[in-house]
C-alpha cells in the first residue's frame, strides 16, 4: 500500500533530454515561489542529454533562488512514481532516421512537405510511432502517479495524441499544450504596432487550425486593420499564407504559414513553383530547422556547461557557411538561443501556469487541447479540440464555445477525418486505416493517386518498422 502521508509536490519531465525546451519549462516553474521547493524528476532515454539537463536544472534553481529536489533517471517508472504533474516532450525516432524518412520517401512520389509533424503523411507516420509509446507511458501513469495527476502533453501530432490518450485512460487526463495561440497573438500585435497585453481574443477550433473568433483592443474590433494589412500587402513575407486565409475565410488561423500550407490542398502543388514563390512557402522547413539545431548544438552544449563562453556571432557565421536550405529567419534567429540561455525569463508556455493554478487556486485562462464533449457543436463529439479553459484548484476546465462559423468547422473536419483514422488505427490495431488516413489527407489526396498513396504508405511502414507496433509490420 502506498504511503498516505503528505509528500513533496512532484513534477516529472519525460523527454527531459530536449535540453533547451526543458530549460525553459524549468525556468517557468521554479520562478514561482509556490513551486520552487517541488521535486523535479527528469527522465530521458539518452543518458548524456539527461545529465546535461540535470546540470542545467541545478543552475536554473540557483539563478532563481529555488530549492527543489532534483532527480534524473533513465528509469521511467521511477520518474513517474508519485508524480502529480507529468510534462511530456518526447520525439520517437528523432530527427534521424525518422523525420528524414518522413520527408525523403514521400518526395520520391512527388509529395512535398514543410513541417510534417501534425497532419499530412509526416504527421500520420509520427502519430503511428508516438501514440503506442505514449500509451505505454500512460499505463505507468495510471499505476504510479499521485491521485489527481495530470499529463501535460507538448508532443505532436497534438490532436491525434490527445484524442487517443484520453480515450485510453480513465484516471490520468491528458491536456495538450501548444504555443501557437499566444505566439500568433504576439505576431499580430507586432503587425498592428500594438502591445500584446492590450489585446483580448477568443480563439477556438482544433490544434494548429484554431481561428480567432474575436480579436480586439478595448472593445475595438481589430480585424478591419488586419484586413488593411492584407489588402495593402504589408504582412511579413513569411506570413502570406495566413493572411490569404484571412482574405478567403474572414478569420485568422493560429498556426504558422509554413504549417498551415500543408493542412490544405491549395498551396503546395506539383509543377506549381509560382505558388511557392507567391506565398513564400519553405519546403522542407522542419528538416532544415533540425539541421540548424544540429550545427548549433555544440555551441549550445558548451554554453549550457560554461555560461557566457560562446559567441553568437561565431555561431551565425558558422550557420551561414553551412549548406542549409531553410528560411533565412531560422538561421538569423539561431544565435538568440545562446542569448536566451544566459538569463531566466518566464516564457509564454502554459505548462507552469497550469501547475501553479492547480496548486494555488489562482485562476487563469489557457487554450488547451481536450476532447469535444458538448463544447463545439459542429465538430464531431469526442474528437480533440482546442478551446479556452479555466484553470484553478478544480483542474483544467474547458469552456463551451457553441457553434463555430460553418465554413471554419467544415475546413477543420477535413483534418479531423485524418486524425480519427490514425487514432482508430492505433487503438483498434487496423493497418488498413493508415491507408484511409493518407487517402483522406487534403494535401496528399490533392497530389497523389490511390496507387501512389498505397505504395508510399507501404514503403514508409517498412522503413519505420523498428519504431512501429507489430500490427503495422505487414
Q: Which residues contact 178 (CB under 8 A, 6 or more apart)?
A: 154, 158, 207, 208, 367, 369, 386
Q: Is 372 annotated as a binding residue?
A: no
- Reading the block at residue 432, the C-alpha cell is 488498413
String of b and e for 120-150 (b: at least 16 CB within 10 Å)?
bbbbbbbbbbbbbebbebbebbeebbbeebb
| Helix, strand counts (H, E) of the chain | 20, 12
367 forms bridges with which residues in the sheet?
388
Q: How many CA atoms lie within 13 A of 76 on its CB side?
A: 18
Q: How far is Cα 446 from Cα 264, in angstroms, rounded to an integer?
A: 9
Handedness of CA 45, 160, 384, 187 (dihedral sign): positive
- Reading the block at residue 165, the C-alpha cell is 490518450
Q: Which of 162, 165, 209, 184 is nearest to 398 (CA)?
A: 162
Active site residues: 179
- Reading the block at residue 435, the C-alpha cell is 491507408
Query: Using an 8 Å Cβ cutoff, are 257 and 249 in contact?
Result: no
Residue 443 CB-density burial (10 A; 0-12 exposed, 13-18 middle, 19+ buried): buried
Q: Is 367 annotated as a binding residue?
A: no
Q: Is 369 annotated as a binding residue?
A: no
Q: Which of 440, 371, 419 is nearest to 119 (CA)?
A: 419
Q: Which residues are annotated as a binding site for substrate?
A: 156
Numbered residues of the known binding site for Mn(2+): 178, 208
Tell me the binding residues. Answer: 156, 178, 208
Amino acid at each position: 500500500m502506498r504511503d498516505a502521508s503528505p509528500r513533496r509536490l512532484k513534477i516529472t519531465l519525460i523527454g527531459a533530454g530536449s535540453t533547451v525546451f526543458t530549460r525553459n519549462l524549468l525556468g517557468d516553474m521554479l520562478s514561482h515561489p509556490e513551486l520552487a521547493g517541488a521535486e523535479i524528476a527528469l527522465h530521458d532515454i539518452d543518458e548524456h542529454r539527461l545529465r546535461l539537463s540535470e546540470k542545467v536544472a541545478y543552475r536554473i534553481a540557483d539563478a532563481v533562488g529555488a530549492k527543489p529536489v532534483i532527480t534524473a533517471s533513465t528509469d521511467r517508472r521511477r520518474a513517474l512514481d508519485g508524480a502529480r504533474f507529468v510534462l511530456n516532450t518526447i520525439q520517437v525516432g528523432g530527427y534521424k532516421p525518422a523525420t528524414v524518412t518522413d520527408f525523403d520517401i514521400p518526395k520520391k512520389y512527388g509529395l512535398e512537405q514543410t513541417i510534417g509533424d501534425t497532419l499530412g503523411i509526416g504527421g500520420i507516420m509520427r502519430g503511428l510511432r508516438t501514440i503506442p509509446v505514449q500509451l505505454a507511458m500512460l499505463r505507468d501513469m495510471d499505476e504510479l502517479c499521485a491521485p489527481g495527476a495530470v499529463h501535460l502533453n507538448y508532443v505532436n501530432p497534438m490532436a491525434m495524441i490527445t484524442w487517443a490518450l484520453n480515450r485510453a485512460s480513465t484516471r490520468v487526463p491528458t491536456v495538450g499544450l501548444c504555443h501557437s495561440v499566444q505566439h500568433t497573438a504576439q505576431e499580430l500585435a507586432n503587425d498592428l504596432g500594438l502591445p500584446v497585453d492590450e489585446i483580448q481574443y477568443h480563439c477556438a477550433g482544433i490544434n494548429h487550425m484554431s481561428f480567432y473568433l474575436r480579436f480586439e483592443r478595448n472593445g475595438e474590433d481589430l480585424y478591419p486593420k488586419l484586413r488593411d494589412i492584407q489588402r495593402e500587402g504589408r504582412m511579413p513575407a513569411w506570413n502570406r499564407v495566413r493572411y490569404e486565409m484571412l482574405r478567403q475565410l474572414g478569420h485568422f488561423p493560429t498556426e504558422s504559414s509554413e504549417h498551415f500550407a500543408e493542412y490544405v490542398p491549395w498551396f503546395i502543388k506539383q509543377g506549381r513553383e509560382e505558388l511557392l514563390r507567391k506565398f513564400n512557402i519553405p519546403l522542407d522547413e522542419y528538416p532544415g530547422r533540425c539541421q540548424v539545431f544540429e550545427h548549433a548544438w555544440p555551441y549550445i552544449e558548451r554554453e549550457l556547461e560554461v555560461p557566457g563562453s560562446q559567441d553568437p556571432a561565431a555561431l551565425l557565421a558558422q550557420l551561414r557557411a553551412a549548406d542549409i536550405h531553410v528560411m533565412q529567419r531560422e538561421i538569423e534567429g539561431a544565435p538568440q538561443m545562446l542569448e536566451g540561455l544566459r538569463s531566466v525569463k518566464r516564457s509564454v508556455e502554459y505548462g507552469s501556469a497550469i501547475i501553479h493554478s492547480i496548486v494555488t487556486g489562482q485562476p487563469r485562462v489557457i487554450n488547451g487541447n481536450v476532447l469535444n464533449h458538448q463544447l463545439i457543436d459542429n465538430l464531431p463529439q469526442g474528437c480533440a479540440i482546442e478551446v479556452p479553459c479555466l484553470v484553478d484548484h478544480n483542474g483544467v476546465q474547458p469552456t463551451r464555445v457553441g457553434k463555430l462559423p460553418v465554413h471554419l468547422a467544415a475546413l477543420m473536419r477535413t483534418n479531423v477525418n485524418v486524425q480519427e483514422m490514425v487514432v482508430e488505427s492505433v487503438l483498434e490495431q487496423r493497418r488498413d486505416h493508415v491507408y484511409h488516413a493518407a487517402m483522406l489527407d487534403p494535401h496528399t489526396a490533392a497530389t497523389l493517386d490511390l496507387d501512389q498513396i498505397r505504395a508510399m504508405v507501404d514503403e514508409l511502414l517498412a522503413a519505420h518498422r523498428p519504431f512501429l507496433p507489430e500490427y503495422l509490420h505487414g
